[in-house]
Structure 1
Amino acid sequence: MRLFVGLLPPPPVRDELILALEAHRPRWPGLRWLEPASWHVTLSFLGEVPDRVLPELRARLADAATRHPPLTLSLTGAGAFPSAGRARVFLTGLGGDRPGLARLADQVGAGALEAGAGQTDRRRFTPHLSLARCRADTDVSALVEAFGAFSGAAWEAGTVDLIRSDFGGGTTGGGGARYETVEEWPLTARAPRGQS
């Protein structure tokens, strides 16, 4: 099955983002806007994972979760991959405990590799939440500038989710993927002194 590990923003955060995007979406009908129910922050993309690897993968992810406290995060700003001038993905970034988020992503990715899942050519972690995709390189500079001032409310990411992706439906305008949480683990470590 095709899997990744991620964080899911809670419904109030999704609702706030939906409202903030309302004025922008009609001006960009050529973008394939992702459904809010599928919004997530990817910590580690695993790809196709054989069933025999799942028990060890689950154990490694559970272990990683126990080593990290809940993270206070917020959605903020706008950007695009690979660039605003020739975008394939329009996104919002993350603020808050970015160092803790990077450590969690690193440990989750390392654990997945040790379990025999995951990508050996792991890219540098760039925390973001994808909002829309482009079929061809698209200049979204004006959209990035217009949405750049977005700053969402802080929220607590308290679980790590193992998510299955099935292609065939899931974006407005057709295509895309449908996501289903296979299992989740609470982030249970205590925050270091002076942090909340």
Structure 2
Amino acid sequence: MPRLFTGLEIPEDVAFDLFLTQGGVGGARWIDRESYHITLRFIGDIDERLAREISYELDGVEAKPFKLRLSGCGVFGGNKPNTLYAAVEESAELRRLQAIHERICQVLGLEPESRKFAPHVTLARLKDPDLASLHRFLASHSLYKSREFEVSRFVLFSSRPSRGGGPYAVEESYSLQAGL
């Protein structure tokens, strides 16, 4: 039974810039830069038949390439932060692509995603983080901006069930067409 999700890959140079930010936060388990991505839709553990159906439907997605930029850092978890991330600047094209993926999954019988879409790149998983060092990290990276990069494809990733995810494998990639 594969554990699947759809997402966008991060260009190598942008991933390297993010990698250089690692460190200085007690209680952080930093993500390998090869695992950086933006999740569009977590699918979960499904059978092979449904995986093939999802892959087939994703192949029919019509969307144009678009540009994205990462901007700033934040945490999920409120008063008990559990995830440190780089945020993604608002993008109507990204939201449209994510909505298409959500619709495909629901049409094929998956439950609607319960969390609001908050595009991000996970930098670290946090377990009882040192809040002072976490606040210093957030303050020193609040103005972070990546270069603008083009998104010309999305991918279907698989992962092994593990703490914090990864390593991830690209099962299929789907090109976005400029002529649409």
> TM-score by structure 2 length?
0.89
Q: What do residues 20-39 of structure 1 show as CA deviations (whole Å, max 9, x unaligned)?
A: x05xx1x2142000000000
* 1:119 to partner: Cα distance: 3.7
Task: Give the equivalent residue in structure 2 for 1:18.
Answer: 19
- For residues 57 and 114 of structure 2, what CA distance do their matches in structure 1 show? 17
Task: Give the equivalent residue in structure 2 for 1:37.
Answer: 34
Gaps of 5+ in 2: none
SS at match of 1:47: strand
- For residues 65 and 37 of structure 2, what CA distance do their matches in structure 1 show? 16
CA contact (8 A) 1:72 1:157 kept: yes
CA contact (8 A) 1:68 1:190 kept: no
Task: Give the equivalent residue in structure 2 for 1:186.
Answer: 175
- Count how many residue pairs are aligned between Structure 1 and Structure 2: 177
Task: Give the equivalent residue in structure 1 for 2:70.
Answer: 75
Q: What do residues 147-168 of structure 1 show as CA deviations (whole Å, max 9, x unaligned)?
A: 1111110111111110001134
User: 1:66-145, aligned counterparts within 5 Å?
Assistant: 67-83=62-78, 85-95=79-89, 98-116=91-109, 118-136=110-128, 139=131, 140-145=134-139
Tell me which of 164, 170, 190 is aligned to 2:158: 164
- For residues 120 and 67 of structure 2, what CA distance do their matches in structure 1 show? 15
- For residues 7 and 190 of structure 1, what CA distance do their matches in structure 2 show? 20
> TM-score by structure 1 length?
0.82
**Is 1:5 equivalent to 2:2 in the alignment?**
no
CA contact (8 A) 1:78 1:90 kept: yes
Identity in percent = 27
The one-letter code sitting in structure 2 at the alignment partner of 1:128 is: H
1:180/1:106 CA distance change after superposition, 3 Å: same
RMSD: 2.0
1:141/1:190 CA distance change after superposition, 3 Å: farther
* 1:99 to partner: Cα distance: 1.1
1:80/1:58 CA distance change after superposition, 3 Å: same
- For residues 158 and 187 of structure 1, what CA distance do their matches in structure 2 show? 5
SS at match of 2:39: strand
* 1:138 to partner: Cα distance: 5.8
The one-letter code sitting in structure 1 at the alignment partner of 2:97 is: L
- For residues 167 and 115 of structure 1, what CA distance do their matches in structure 2 show? 23
